[in-house]
Amino acid sequence: MKITVHNIKGKETKKKIDLNKDIFGIEPNDHAIYLDVKQHLANKRKGTHSSKERGDIQGSRRKLRKQKGSGAARVGDIKNPIFRGGGRVFGPRPRSYDFKINKKVKRLARKSALTYKLNEKNIIIIEDFDFKNPSTKQYSSALNNFDISENKTLLVLDKPNKNILLSSRNLKKAKVVLASELNTYDIMNANKMLFVESSIKVVEETF
């Protein structure tokens, strides 16, 4: 499965790169994608939510009125949940939302997501490039060369590049990741994926 390599100016070069069918051309598994994205979002939740139940409220334990004879409903102390300022019934408690899925399922999910992107023609391979200095203008200009500046973009690098990372940081819809850290959520969340030429080898080795 060959795809044309572009330069940073958005023009096609004479080079073509062969994408591994075992990664970019499998039968997509929607349920694996669902599980991997669900786990990614669940793991991002802090789970620090908390509320005070009647045992956590400071106040008197005195019974407000006698049990019978008042003509009104029976009540206990002022910390009763039916009163303003009382404790909450079954309120949220700090907890972890993390859950585990198998490595094979995660790998299948990422391959499925990459297959979808390739089938939809939303993958662009570009020659390796670098910026001498961090420049948001240069990075934005590069996206404009491909006419994708208004889309959510994901640039995949083979190794850390501080200048490229800093150049993209101020662009709301642009994200830069390493090929070794590619995840299903980022793949599915992006409208267009840009792979630098050397990152394809890292993806194939990782998956």
pTM for the complete prediction? 0.82
Q: What domains does the chain contain, in order, with CATH numbers?
A: 2-46+98-206 (3.40.1370.10), 51-91 (no CATH)
Chunked in runs of 10, what are the mean pLDDT values of the chain (207 residues)? 86 87 93 96 94 91 92 92 91 93 95 94 91 92 90 93 92 93 94 93 89
- Distance (Å, whole) CA 57 – CA 80: 10
Can you give the pLDDT at residue 92?
Answer: 93
What is the number of other CB atoms lying within 10 angstroms of the CB of residue 132?
Answer: 7
Q: Pick the closest to residue 21 from 102, 105, 119 (CA basis).
A: 119
Contact 81, 87 (CB under 8 A): yes
For the record, the structure tokens of 206 come out as 């990782």
